Structure 1
């Protein structure tokens, strides 16, 4: 087992509320994250709610372990051989928002890079989608 940590930020002209709306509506995740096919949730976007993302054809369970409406959330995936934690945060800027992800993986050494390789692309797509939604 190895510990892996990854962080990435993107800025967008969209307000934090526009990004938050996309995060909280898990049905939109497949629209801006190319590896996600679908997301189902067992309840509201709140602490303790579990869900399943279908990523590259495989179901991946997750649980919301922290939710701060409008500011960020953390979800965790527990697999037999790994624990993955995804922290999502929003920071107001003078003109727009900084979107920040921090991902930690406690598991096989090659899992971390495989999980995070498309993170910058997904974050850029999220920023663009939020910008488009905030103009509409």
Structure 2
């Protein structure tokens, strides 16, 4: 298994940040540098979505965890590895802490995680900053 996390704090309340996370993953919010999301059903656990990273081919993912105003995660199955992207929102004094993480798991995770993970997560700080700016 390979994992990374980026954390940022915002003065905004959780519901406001949650709305931006939801809107991004339903395709209602788009901005330069962000992946494009197309939801195939309700915004709920089990629903599939098409994710198109900027400049890349689309991939299929599935919402695997969703608690309103608290957490969102989707999983992408690439065969020998799975990618789980997660947002976790927590109240802190003066606002909300947002944790954005990636877990790479599966039979090939130890082999490819160290190379693939940093490539995928290199934009986490900028991506999270842009999301919070739009919230």
What stretches of structure 2 of length at least 5 have no aligned partner? none
TM-superposition CA deviations, 1:31-51 (whole Å, max 9, x none): 26x141x21111111100010
What stretches of structure 1 of length at least 5 have no aligned partner? 131-136
Q: Quote the offset at 1:89 in angstroms.
A: 0.5
Aligned residue pairs, count = 126
Higher strand share: 1
> Higher relative contact order at CA 8 Å, sep ≥6: structure 1 or structure 2?
1
Q: How does 1:77-92 map to 2 (within 5 A)?
A: 77-92=76-91
Distance 1:28 1:96 in 2: 24
TM-score, L = length of structure 2:
0.85
TM-score, L = length of structure 1:
0.85
TM-superposition CA deviations, 1:107-130 (whole Å, max 9, x none): 324111111000111011111111
SS at match of 1:58: coil
Aligned to 2:2: 4
* CA RMSD after TM alignment: 1.5
Q: Quote the offset at 1:7 in angstroms.
A: 1.1
List, as ranges, runs of 4+ consecutive aligned residues in structure 1 with deviation greater than 2 Å.
none
